[in-house]
Chain A
Amino acid sequence: EADIYQTPRYLVIGTGKKITLECSQTMGHDKMYWYQQDPGMELHLIHYSYGVNSTEKGDLSSESTVSRIRTEHFPLTLESARPSHTSQYLCASSEGTHQETQYFGPGTRLLVL
């Protein structure tokens, strides 16, 4: 069973607030990812990291930012939340090679009022 955690699981917040979504994994995986998923829609990659101090933007443009200071931790930050940021955010990790599957956390459901 994968050991990847996300907090909070649910967040309701007002427009303009700064929020940080936490993601941590205990498997020692080098690669980590953030996906955004609207209800009934496909997942879109918004950020990824291949290791400490490595971060890249994904396929879908996002106003969020990420950091990778420690291998196990990959937080996502929104400086000023807006209603358009309402979505589910899924974090995942994988080992170094492309032959390995990605392990997903339970997700954070964000609602911005």
Chain B
Amino acid sequence: KQEVTQIPAALSVPEGENLVLNCSFTDSAIYNLQWFRQDPGKGLTSLLLIQSSQREQTSGRLNASLDKSSGRSTLYIAASQPGDSATYLCAVCGETSGSRLTFGEGTQLTVNP
């Protein structure tokens, strides 16, 4: 059974700092890995999707990497802003799960002005 772990559970940084969020998964047989953002009481917004054949994806100040063989992904946020404060969720789509996603518990990020 696929398990997804995110470290740290919570992170507080001053504005402008670069930061890294970590995600690990136990079964490397995946189609893709996705990073989502969730604001309090809201749904999820997709940030980046990395296919299993890719090593990284970039969108603006966000860069996500994938090391499928070691079961790890990182989300790098450059020059953090207070508006980045949210919970960041990692999810994997396993090869044996159709299109279903397995989520981690998330990292709660606070960027202080």
A residues sitting closer than 8 Å to B (CB atoms) are 6, 31, 33, 40-45, 48, 50, 58-59, 88, 90, 92, 94, 97-107, 109
Q: Contact check, B44 vs A90: say whether CB atoms are below 8 A apart.
A: yes
Interface residues of B in 1-44 (CB under 8 A from A): 4, 31-32, 34, 36, 41-44
Q: Contact check, B93 vs A98: say whether CB atoms are below 8 A apart.
A: yes
**The residue from A40, A44, A88, A97 contacting B99, defined by CB atoms under 8 A apart:** A97
Q: Contact check, B43 vs A107: say whether CB atoms are below 8 A apart.
A: yes
Nearest B residue (CB) for A58:
B100
Contact flag A33-B100 (CB < 8 Å), given A101-B34, A101-B49: yes
Query: Which chain A residues lie closer than 8 Å to B99 at the CB level?
Result: 31, 94, 97-98, 100, 102
Q: Contact check, B43 vs A102: say whether CB atoms are below 8 A apart.
A: no
In whole angstroms, how far apart are the Cα atoms of A60 and B36 in the complex?
21
**The residue from B31, B36, B46, B91 contacting A99, defined by CB atoms under 8 A apart:** B31
* B89 on the A face (CB < 8 A): yes
Q: 1/0 per residue B67-104: CB within 8 Å of A?
A: 00000000000000000000001010100001111111
Q: How many A-B residue pairs have CB under 8 A?
A: 59
Query: Which chain A residues lie closer than 8 Å to B56 at the CB level?
Result: none
In whole angstroms, how far apart are the Cα atoms of A45 and B51 in the complex?
21
Q: A88-B41, A101-B34, A102-B34 are in contact. List 17 more A-B contacts (CB 8 A).
A: A31-B99, A42-B103, A44-B103, A45-B100, A59-B102, A90-B43, A92-B44, A98-B98, A98-B99, A99-B31, A99-B51, A101-B46, A102-B101, A103-B46, A107-B41, A107-B42, A107-B43
Query: Which chain A residues lie closer than 8 Å to B31 at the CB level?
Result: 98-99
Query: Which chain B residues lie closer than 8 Å to A92 at the CB level?
Result: 44
Contact flag A41-B43 (CB < 8 Å), given A58-B100, A99-B51: no
Q: Contact check, A43 vs B42: say whether CB atoms are below 8 A apart.
A: no
13 pairs from A and B in contact (CB 8 Å cutoff): A41-B105, A43-B101, A97-B99, A98-B32, A98-B93, A100-B99, A101-B34, A101-B49, A102-B99, A104-B36, A104-B43, A104-B44, A109-B41
